[in-house]
Amino acid sequence: MRYFESLVVANQQITDDVFVLQVERRDVEAGAGQFFMLKSWDKELTLMRPISIFKSEPDVLHFMYRLVGQGTGKMAQLKQGDPIRLLGPCGNGYPCEMLQGKVAVLGGGVGIPPLCETAKVLSNKGVNVDAYLGFRDVLFAVKDFDPYCANIFVSTENGEEGYKGFITDLLKPENYDAVITCGPEVMMRKVAAMCAAVNTTCYCSLEHRMACGIGACLGCSIRTKLGMKRVCKDGPVFLSTDLLW
């Protein structure tokens, strides 16, 4: 993990409130399910903001983010050539090296971006990957999963695209060796319970407000069956069976 300055390669708006930020990679490591703390401001805000790796290319890191507040609002204004500071890679990431056979990646909203890099890494090592992508209404990132997935299932809550309802309705965890999930806690909790019922291994990537992002402030600590854990350093990825929801 290191703290470094980089430059914006592109910052593209892909829906009303979702953007993809591309940043010069500067030879930093980046694993599936890990995240970077980002900062493109000086005075107005102090804390960096955590955003997951959406795609990792040899020279460029891609971050897909939803504009929700001040920090992501500043990010949305970035233009090609603007400076940006990064700290990372942070967190443990998904244990892709341990996974084999058939794996489902299931994401909701901006829990979907980290699953794209994960699907790529798994598919490159010969794992058979299916993607389950749940949206409120407008789709994004679906095409990015195409090269890495045997099947892609999509749902929207209003039924405008794909299955009408929750993406968890479509998942049959007994068909998979493992399920990897990221998104709203209520969704991950449901996935964890479905997997537990059929003894399928399930990994959840938790979200938590973060201050330091490197395990120093303890601000993101949660209680688990294995004791107190820091989401930023010991996670964000946890075995679902270790979590106390």
Binding site for ligand FES (CB under 6 A): 210-213, 215-220, 230, 232
Rounded Cα gap, residues 45 and 75, in angstroms: 12
216 binds, among ligand FAD, ligand FES, none (CB under 5 to 8 A by kind): ligand FES
DSSP, collapsed to helix, strand or coil, labels residue 136 as coil
Only segment of 8-16, 79-87, 109-117, 186-194 that touches ligand FAD (CB under 6 A): 109-117
Asked if 85 touches ligand FAD (CB under 6 A), the answer is no
169's tokens? 């309705």
User: CB of 175: closest distance to ligand FAD in angstroms?
Assistant: 27
Distances (CA, A) of 183 to 44, 60, 79, 83, 101: 29, 24, 28, 29, 24
Question: Smallest Cα–Cα separation from 91: which of 127, 51, 122?
Answer: 51
147 binds, among ligand FAD, ligand FES, none (CB under 5 to 8 A by kind): none
DSSP, collapsed to helix, strand or coil, labels residue 157 as coil
Residue ranges of alpha helices (H) inside 46-89 are 70-76
219 binds, among ligand FAD, ligand FES, none (CB under 5 to 8 A by kind): ligand FES
Question: Smallest Cα–Cα separation from 38: which of 81, 68, 7?
Answer: 7
132 binds, among ligand FAD, ligand FES, none (CB under 5 to 8 A by kind): none
**Count of positions (residues) in the chain:** 245
Asked if 48 touches ligand FAD (CB under 6 A), the answer is no
Which residues of the shown chain bind ligand FAD in the complex (CB under 6 A)? 35, 49-52, 64-66, 68-73, 110, 113-114, 207-210, 236
